[in-house]
């Protein structure tokens, strides 16, 4: 559906707003009471189709009010609202009733700003709507403004509420834990509420701020899917509820748990953006839309890619963490760098251990000077060596943290989040700095700027290895301390933005002990993410599958590490490990100085092959052909360049049972009339498979694997190039 223009219209007679973009229409209007009511969200309607005025739904007997039953765009808690409110406030006089009615609107690029106001008090809410012309993905957010003379406490503020008509639906959402992120859950939407959230101060490994709701028997390839992603890296909540009349609402924004934002007269609170989209072609279609939107509209650009439609594919990196852990030093890193360069690596990244008195995880966080024992001449000799070997250099930092055993903590014990007189709970022997404080913000920005100014650094791996406890902010009046939930994350974003502006070529990875801070908020400022500390190549297949429902393979860093794997003690071949990681943005994280000549040659060959097809893999249209989930014996993915000139296929056997052959892979998304040449990257096609055949042949007849493609942890990959 791409190529269709966006349009945004308002019919003054019916008071109906209509947004069209890609294959999507989104319609809402002002009803007879003045409430802003959702009317339609789904496939694009005819340009001449007109909607009648919105009519509030009636009450259901005397128990469910019209106010509750009507799918409001942004309902204030008041007037007998029993569903999840978008906004809940408390006034200084004890009044907590808030009823928002339409006030005015202004046209904005591809959308509107619609202003609502409480029926009697000067609380104004500006709802922002913008639809992407290509994907039809909507960006929605709200600004809450107190134009009264007294302070008002915002107790709950959503970015947006989405509504679907009464029906039978399933919900998809992602959950996990450290080393076990990206589990895709699929369950029916039932009456009551399903809450997915983080109360941790950051996005969290345990749930991710993304959802997809599918109608009836929708699957990977067919049917209607409504999806959304919240762009916020602090505590968040998305509530999916089927209401008393079987309609579905999805409300998401700041997590109301322990929330309270005091708006003084004249102050405003801006919510995060909640993106929402619709696809008519299943969960696969939904994720392809989201991937393209992320590449084109969310991910930052560097000086080198400024103004370009797409960010550049990630350099193939080497990272020292699993090889050395904290035992980094000049000679050891140089030896790794030499070997990395010989493999064809583009970027060498030194991980944890280079700074302060950092010998293990007990000390050093907060002291961002180079450890003179490990690097007696500073970082320059290592960086120069890495450059001389033809790679650029990246460095690990964990800016928001402090070890109590550090000079920083000894000097500023009050900088860590804490409640005075209460214990400070350590995790991994560290505390979280209160980044909401202006002095802490200045310190963090200052040392990062200094490191980037004094050293030729192309990349920061920005880590964040614990969640919050005792989130006090004693400098503020008691009633205002909960601002920390908003200001911390805002300062994080503003530091990232300022660093990128001052150092426009630097690229940044968002890591949080793996995938603990992955969301569309942080991805506006970071070029890639670390999905999981779990680098087991078999576990990664399922994790990567789950990850791609919400996020593009471009940002999905995947390292090849040593076998047997430290977590599962599983032994796998280097070819299998390489192909598992080649499904995303490839890195090597093994102790490569110990690799045999044969292993070195295999990695070198596959890195070279990866370089040839990487753009297709990370920026193409992804088809999840066979899911690795639910104990599947096999899995397979295929990506196709948007211009259909190249496609890459990956096939994995988890463990052959009863001698079963790998299923025929009916390829997708090719040009049926064009001829494609099949080239193996690893493994073989079945004897008799044509080297050249039409897109129609590969899609209808399909691709068969060699009959000897059997066993445990086997992998094959192929490239198809249009002739």
Whether 562 is catalytic: no
Q: Which residues contact 571 (CB under 8 A, 6 or more apart)?
A: 563, 564, 565
- For the bound state, the minimum distance from the C-beta of residue 636 to ligand GLA, rounded and expressed in Å, comes to 28
Tell me how far apart the alpha carbons of residues 428 and 247 are, in angstroms, rounded to a whole number.
45
Which residue number, 532 or 638, has a Cβ lying nearer to ligand GLA? 532
- For the bound state, the minimum distance from the C-beta of residue 351 to ligand GLA, rounded and expressed in Å, comes to 5
CA–CA distance from 583 to each of 105, 500, 536, 601 (Å)? 45, 28, 14, 20
- For the bound state, the minimum distance from the C-beta of residue 511 to ligand GLA, rounded and expressed in Å, comes to 5
Tell me how far apart the alpha carbons of residues 1 and 10 are, in angstroms, rounded to a whole number.
23
- For the bound state, the minimum distance from the C-beta of residue 514 to ligand GLA, rounded and expressed in Å, comes to 5
Residue of 533, 536, 539, 545 with catalytic role: 533
Tell me how far apart the alpha carbons of residues 284 and 280 are, in angstroms, rounded to a whole number.
10
Can residue 396 be called a binding residue for ligand GLA (CB under 6 A)? yes
> Are the CB atoms for 318 and 350 separated by under 8 Å?
no
- For the bound state, the minimum distance from the C-beta of residue 328 to ligand GLA, rounded and expressed in Å, comes to 11
Q: Which of 259, 221, 255, 226 is nearest to 238 (CA)?
A: 255
CA quadruple 381, 387, 388, 391: dihedral positive or negative?
positive
Can residue 366 be called a binding residue for ligand GLA (CB under 6 A)? no
Q: Which of 112, 293, 530, 549 binds ligand GLA (CB under 6 A)?
A: 530
> Are the CB atoms for 544 and 515 separated by under 8 Å?
no
Q: Which residues contact 603 (CB under 8 A, 6 or more apart)?
A: 343, 560, 574, 578, 588, 592, 595
- For the bound state, the minimum distance from the C-beta of residue 394 to ligand GLA, rounded and expressed in Å, comes to 12
Question: What Rg value do the Cα atoms of the chain yield, rounded?
Answer: 26
Strand-pair partners of 115: 104, 126
Q: How many helices (H) and strands (E) does the chain have?
A: 12, 36
Which residue number, 282 or 513, has a Cβ lying nearer to ligand GLA? 513
Which residue number, 561 or 682, has a Cβ lying nearer to ligand GLA? 561
- For the bound state, the minimum distance from the C-beta of residue 512 to ligand GLA, rounded and expressed in Å, comes to 7
Which residue number, 281 or 430, has a Cβ lying nearer to ligand GLA? 430
Applying CB under 6 A, the site for ligand GLA has a residue count of 11
- For the bound state, the minimum distance from the C-beta of residue 584 to ligand GLA, rounded and expressed in Å, comes to 15
> Are the CB atoms for 182 and 547 separated by under 8 Å?
yes
Which residue number, 241 or 352, has a Cβ lying nearer to ligand GLA? 352
Question: What part of residues 309-348 is at the interface with ligand GLA (CB under 6 A)?
Answer: 321
Residue 68 gets which letter from DSSP? H
Site mask for ligand GLA (CB under 6 A), range 484-523, x = bound:
---------------------------x-xx---------
Residue 257 gets which letter from DSSP? T
Tell me how far apart the alpha carbons of residues 407 and 405 are, in angstroms, rounded to a whole number.
7
Q: Which residues contact 610 (CB under 8 A, 6 or more apart)?
A: 316, 582, 586, 617
Task: Give the nearest residue (CB) to ligand GLA.
Answer: 352
Which residue number, 73 or 400, has a Cβ lying nearer to ligand GLA? 400
Which residue number, 137 or 350, has a Cβ lying nearer to ligand GLA? 350
Can residue 533 be called a binding residue for ligand GLA (CB under 6 A)? yes
Q: Which residues contact 161 (CB under 8 A, 6 or more apart)?
A: 72, 73, 74, 75, 84, 86, 249, 250, 251
Q: Which of 134, 145, 351, 575 binds ligand GLA (CB under 6 A)?
A: 351
Which residue number, 76 or 315, has a Cβ lying nearer to ligand GLA? 315
Which residue number, 395 or 582, has a Cβ lying nearer to ligand GLA? 395
CA–CA distance from 171 to each of 72, 138, 291 (Å)? 21, 20, 20
Residue 508 gets which letter from DSSP? E
CA–CA distance from 115 to each of 34, 129, 249, 272, 367 (Å)? 12, 11, 21, 17, 47
Whether 351 is catalytic: no
- For the bound state, the minimum distance from the C-beta of residue 381 to ligand GLA, rounded and expressed in Å, comes to 23
> Are the CB atoms for 383 and 393 separated by under 8 Å?
yes
> Are the CB atoms for 76 and 118 separated by under 8 Å?
yes
> Are the CB atoms for 102 and 34 separated by under 8 Å?
yes
Tell me how far apart the alpha carbons of residues 355 and 357 are, in angstroms, rounded to a whole number.
6
Which residue number, 134 or 400, has a Cβ lying nearer to ligand GLA? 400
Which residue number, 285 or 514, has a Cβ lying nearer to ligand GLA? 514
Q: Kindly state the tokens that stand for 638.
A: 């295929």
Can residue 274 be called a binding residue for ligand GLA (CB under 6 A)? no
Token pair 């009317």 is at which residue? 39
Tell me how far apart the alpha carbons of residues 103 and 36 are, in angstroms, rounded to a whole number.
10
> Are the CB atoms for 298 and 210 separated by under 8 Å?
no
Which residue number, 465 or 572, has a Cβ lying nearer to ligand GLA? 465
Q: Which of 72, 235, 465, 614 binds ligand GLA (CB under 6 A)?
A: 465
> Are the CB atoms for 268 and 145 separated by under 8 Å?
yes
Angle at which helix 574-581 crosses helix 597-619, to 10 degrees, equals: 20
Q: Kindly state the tokens that stand for 178.
A: 């450290």
Q: Which of 510, 413, 482 is nearest to 199 (CA)?
A: 482
- For the bound state, the minimum distance from the C-beta of residue 516 to ligand GLA, rounded and expressed in Å, comes to 8
Q: Which of 16, 19, 9 is nearest to 36 (CA)?
A: 16
- For the bound state, the minimum distance from the C-beta of residue 610 to ligand GLA, rounded and expressed in Å, comes to 21
Residue of 20, 392, 463, 539 with catalytic role: 463
- For the bound state, the minimum distance from the C-beta of residue 134 to ligand GLA, rounded and expressed in Å, comes to 34
- For the bound state, the minimum distance from the C-beta of residue 435 to ligand GLA, rounded and expressed in Å, comes to 19
Can residue 20 be called a binding residue for ligand GLA (CB under 6 A)? no
Report the residue count for the chain. 723
Which residue number, 284 or 514, has a Cβ lying nearer to ligand GLA? 514
> Are the CB atoms for 224 and 277 separated by under 8 Å?
no
Angle at which helix 282-293 crosses helix 537-550, to 10 degrees, equals: 80
269: Cα within 13 Å, side-chain hemisphere: 29
Task: Summarize as ranges the residues that interact with ligand GLA (CB under 6 A).
Answer: 321, 351-352, 396, 463, 465, 511, 513-514, 530, 533
What is the set of active-site residues? 463, 533
């Amino acid at each position: 559906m791409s190529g269709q223009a966006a349009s945004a219209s308002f019919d003054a007679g019916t008071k109906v707003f209509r947004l069209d973009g890609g294959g999507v229409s989104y319609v809402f209007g002002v009803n007879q009471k003045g409430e802003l009511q959702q009317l339609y969200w789904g496939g694009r309607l005819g340009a001449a189709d007109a909607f009648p005025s919105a009519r509030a739904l009636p009450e259901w007997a005397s128990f469910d009010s019209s106010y509750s039953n009507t799918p409001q765009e942004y309902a204030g808690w008041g007037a007998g609202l029993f569903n999840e409110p978008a906004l809940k406030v408390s006034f200084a006089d004890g009044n907590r009733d808030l009823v928002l009615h339409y006030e005015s609107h202004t046209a904005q690029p591809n959308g509107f700003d619609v202003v609502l106001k409480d029926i009697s008090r000067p609380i104004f809410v500006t709802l922002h709507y913008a639809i992407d012309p290509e994907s039809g993905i909507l960006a929605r957010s709200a600004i809450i403004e107190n134009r009264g003379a007294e302070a008002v406490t915002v107790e709950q503020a959503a970015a947006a509420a989405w509504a679907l008509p009464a029906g039978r639906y399933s919900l998809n959402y992602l959950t996990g834990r450290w080393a076990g992120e990206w589990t895709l859950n699929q369950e029916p939407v039932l009456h009551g509420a399903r809450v997915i959230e983080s109360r941790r101060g950051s996005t969290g490994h345990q749930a991710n701020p993304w959802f997809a709701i599918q109608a009836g028997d929708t699957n990977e390839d067919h049917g209607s899917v409504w999806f959304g992603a919240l762009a916020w890296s602090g505590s968040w909540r998305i509530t999916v509820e089927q209401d008393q009349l079987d309609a579905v609402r999805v409300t998401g924004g700041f997590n109301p748990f322990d929330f309270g934002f005091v708006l003084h007269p004249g102050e405003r609170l801006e919510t995060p953006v909640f993106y929402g989209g619709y696809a008519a072609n299943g969960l696969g279609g939904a994720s392809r839309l989201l991937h393209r939107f992320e590449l084109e509209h969310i991910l930052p650009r560097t000086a080198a890619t400024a103004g370009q439609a797409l960010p550049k594919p990630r350099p193939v990196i080497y990272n020292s963490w699993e090889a050395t852990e904290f035992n980094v030093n000049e000679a050891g890193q140089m030896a790794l760098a030499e070997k990395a360069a010989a493999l064809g690596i583009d970027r060498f990244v030194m991980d944890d251990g280079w700074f302060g008195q950092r010998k293990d995880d007990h000390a050093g966080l907060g002291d961002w000077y180079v450890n003179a024992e490990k690097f007696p001449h500073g970082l320059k000799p290592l960086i120069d060596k890495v450059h001389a070997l033809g790679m650029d250099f990246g460095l690990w930092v964990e800016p928001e943290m402090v070890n109590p055993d550090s000079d920083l903590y000894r000097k500023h014990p009050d900088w860590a989040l804490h409640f005075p007189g209460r214990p400070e709970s350590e995790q991994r022997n560290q505390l979280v700095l209160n980044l909401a404080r202006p002095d802490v913000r200045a310190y963090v920005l200052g040392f990062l700027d200094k490191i980037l100014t004094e050293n030729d650094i192309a990349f920061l791996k920005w880590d964040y290895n614990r969640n919050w406890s005792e989130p006090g902010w004693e400098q503020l009046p008691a009633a205002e301390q909960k601002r920390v939930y908003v200001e911390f994350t805002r300062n994080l974003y503003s530091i990232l933005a300022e660093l990128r502006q001052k150092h426009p070529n630097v690229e940044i990875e968002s890591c949080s002990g793996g995938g603990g801070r992955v969301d569309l908020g942080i991805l506006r400022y970071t070029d890639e993410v670390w999905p999981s500390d779990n680098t087991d190549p078999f576990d990664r297949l399922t994790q990567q599958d789950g990850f791609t429902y919400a996020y593009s393979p471009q940002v999905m860093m995947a390292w090849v590490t040593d076998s047997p794997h430290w977590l599962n003690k599983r032994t796998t071949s280097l070819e299998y490990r390489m192909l598992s990681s080649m499904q995303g943005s490839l890195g090597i994280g093994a102790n490569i100085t110990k690799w045999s000549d044969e292993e070195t040659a295999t990695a070198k060959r596959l890195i070279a092959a990866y370089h040839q097809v990487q753009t297709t893999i990370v920026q193409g249209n992804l088809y999840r052909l066979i899911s690795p989930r639910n104990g599947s014996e096999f899995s397979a993915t295929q990506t196709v360049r948007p211009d259909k000139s190249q496609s890459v296929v990956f096939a994995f056997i988890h463990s052959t049972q009863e001698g079963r052959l790998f299923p025929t892979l009916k390829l997708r998304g090719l040009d049926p009339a064009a001829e494609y040449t099949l080239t193996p990257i690893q493994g073989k096609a079945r004897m008799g498979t044509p080297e050249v055949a039409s897109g129609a042949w590969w899609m209808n007849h399909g691709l068969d694997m060699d009959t000897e493609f059997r066993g445990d942890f086997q992998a094959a990959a192929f490239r198809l190039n249009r002739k």
